Amino acid sequence: MSLDIREKLKILANGAKYDVSCSSSGSNRSNHGKGLGNSVYAGICHSFTDDGRCISLLKILYTNYCIYDCAYCINRKSNDIPRAAFSVKEIVDLTINFYRRNYIEGLFLSSGVILNPDHTMEQLANVAKELRTKEKFFGYIHLKAIPGASYEIIKKAGFFADRLSMNIEIPTEQNLKMLAPEKDYRGILQPMQLMKEGIIESKEERRKYRTSKAFVPAGQSTQFIVGASPEKDQLILKVASGLYNQQKLKRVYYSGFLPVNEYDKRLPAIKEPPLIREHRLYQADWLMRFYKFDVNEIVDDLHPDLDLEIDPKLSWALRNPWLFPIDVNHADYEMILRIPGIGVRSAQMIINARRYGKLSVDKLKKIGVVMKRAKYFITCSELPPAVKDLKPEAIRTKILTEALVPVKKIQKPVQLQLYFG
């Protein structure tokens, strides 16, 4: 029974790694000199794995035993793999000792389902409670809300955690039924709705009584597996957009399908995980969250899938050529944000700097505008002539051939931490 702690950690970290969320953002706990740790609103990454993903939290499973048999999951009950379970104390000790050494921002605890969802959720809540009350731990805690657990227990957990996440994994009810027969689509969405209401309520309480306890202050997140089922990007992004707008989710993660159970014929046979598609989905998600794009501008019935060759912002610009060129010395912030080659930071700098005088191509370059891209879409105090009359198709070809990075080598920011400023 008593596996060596190193063995346990290897097994239970390995089982947790397919959940891509690792963010430690959205919370502002402070220890006021009476405990250990705090959390920084923007979140902090502490290391990066060989696959380039951020390590911010100690991401582990409470146990990888599971009574369910989801097709896409390494921990499903029909897999013959080494199994282990932590004790509450082991998790607490690991978290505190890693934290004190500045290895991590906190804990992300998930689990296979043991006995039943309620019992499992109870265990996760206990770990969080122990950390907060006994150890006076003010670092970040992210708990997985176990699908099917009753809201009462999820709610209890929410008063100790910074973030709760319920993974939808498969974006349509019918395909979820096929791949994860024990799970219930509505049973996942419903607690999300209740949590949202709980969060709003708690915020109001805290406005009135500053001492009342925070409930999931860093909000909820979820994850979709991309490519395990045949949904188009349009559908995935629409669901995501609804989750952001109606359920007020903080983050939606997209995880390119990895064939961990190749024997299962319900799943597509693929050679490589769809990493470029995943990357494009994150870019589209970015456009919705930071660039004020509506989901219907990014994908529509004519273009239900994102273009793999070019990013979704460029793709949008080429589909709407009549909006360009944009005069950077006069256009408003929203329009400047939409120019390919201009990011949030450059857009803000442009707005600030142009109050002092007209901006030239040279100054735009210095500010950080990627002129190779932007030149097709802007005018400023000096017009770059020739390019103005190019047709969208020609621009596309030109950008692709002069391309900054060949498509195949494109970098995949799975967990970007943004420093705006």
Partner 1 sequence: MNIFIYDRTFEGLLTTVFDSYDLKIVPDVIVPKNNLQDSLFGNKIEIITDTVKAERVWNGLEKKLTDGACQLPYKAWLSEMKIEMLVYKFIRKVFETPFNIEKNYGDEHVLAIRQLNRKVTREACRTLEFLRFQKTTDNIYYASIAPPYNILPVIISHFEKRFTDQHWIIYDIKRHYGVYYDLQQTSEITLELNHVNTGTGRISNNAMGESEELYQYLWKDYFQSVNITERKNLRLQMNFMPKRFWQYMTEKQMLT
Binding site for ligand SF4 (CB under 6 A): 66, 68-70, 73, 75-76, 112-113, 180
Q: Which of ligand SF4, partner 1, none binds 384 (CB below 5-8 Å, type-dependent)? A: none
Q: Which is nearer to ligand SF4, 264 or 307 (CB)?
A: 264
As measured in angstroms, the least distance from the Cβ of 176 to ligand SF4 is 11
d(CA 230, CA 171): 10
CB burial class (10 A; 0-12, 13-18, 19+) of residue 297?
middle
Phi, psi of 326 (to 5 degrees): -105, 135
Q: Which is nearer to partner 1, 263 or 420 (CB)?
A: 420
Task: Confirm if 144 and 169 have CB atoms less than 8 A apart.
Answer: no
Q: Which is nearer to partner 1, 135 or 205 (CB)?
A: 135
Among candidate residues 55, 56, 59, the one with its CA nearest the CA of residue 24: 56
As measured in angstroms, the least distance from the Cβ of 236 to partner 1 is 20
Phi, psi of 25 (to 5 degrees): -95, 170
Among candidate residues 89, 78, 66, the one with its CA nearest the CA of residue 16: 66
By the rule CB under 8 A, 420 interacts with partner 1: no
As measured in angstroms, the least distance from the Cβ of 69 to ligand SF4 is 6
d(CA 206, CA 204): 5
Q: Which of 71, 326, 359, 395 binds partner 1 (CB under 8 A)?
A: 359
Find the helix packing angle between 275-290 and 312-319, rounded to 10°. 70
- Structure-derived torsion over alpha carbons of residues 363, 367, 369, 375, reported in degrees to the nearest 10: -10
Q: Which is nearer to partner 1, 53 or 206 (CB)?
A: 53
Q: Which of 1, 2, 101, 406 binds partner 1 (CB under 8 A)?
A: 101
Q: What is the 3-state secondary structure (H, E, C) of 363-404?
A: HHHHHCCCHHHHCCCEECCCCCCHHHHCCHHHHHHHHHHCCC
Q: Which of 3, 38, 130, 392 binds partner 1 (CB under 8 A)?
A: 38
Site for partner 1 in 234-273 (CB under 8 A): 258, 272-273
Q: Which is nearer to ligand SF4, 112 or 341 (CB)?
A: 112
Site for partner 1 in 49-68 (CB under 8 A): 49-55, 58-59
Task: Confirm if 378 and 360 have CB atoms less than 8 A apart.
Answer: no
As measured in angstroms, the least distance from the Cβ of 374 to partner 1 is 16
Task: Confirm if 229 and 257 have CB atoms less than 8 A apart.
Answer: no
Helix (H) or strand (E) holding 251: strand 251-256
Contacts with partner 1, 124-163, as mask; x by CB under 8 A: ------------x---------------------------
Q: Which of 33, 230, 385, 406 binds partner 1 (CB under 8 A)?
A: 33
By the rule CB under 8 A, 84 interacts with partner 1: no
Do the bridges between strand 57-61 and strand 106-110 make them parallel or antiparallel, or are there none, so unpaired? parallel
Q: In angstroms, what CA-CA distances link 332 with 14, 27, 327, 381, 394?
A: 48, 32, 9, 16, 27
By the rule CB under 8 A, 308 interacts with partner 1: no
Q: Which of ligand SF4, partner 1, none binds 113 (CB below 5-8 Å, type-dependent)? A: ligand SF4
As measured in angstroms, the least distance from the Cβ of 92 to partner 1 is 14
Number of Cβ within 10 Å of residue 50's Cβ equals 5
Q: Which is nearer to ligand SF4, 76 or 155 (CB)?
A: 76
Q: Which is nearer to ligand SF4, 70 or 295 (CB)?
A: 70
Q: Which is nearer to partner 1, 186 or 355 (CB)?
A: 355
CA distance from start to end of the chain: 52
Number of Cβ within 10 Å of residue 194's Cβ equals 14
Q: Which of partner 1, ligand SF4, none binds 333 (CB below 5-8 Å, type-dependent)? A: none
By the rule CB under 8 A, 411 interacts with partner 1: yes
Tell me which residues touch partner 1 (CB under 8 A): 5-6, 9-10, 13-14, 16-18, 30-31, 33-38, 40, 44-55, 58-59, 94, 97-98, 100-103, 136, 258, 272-273, 275, 349, 352-357, 359, 363, 366-367, 411-413, 419, 421
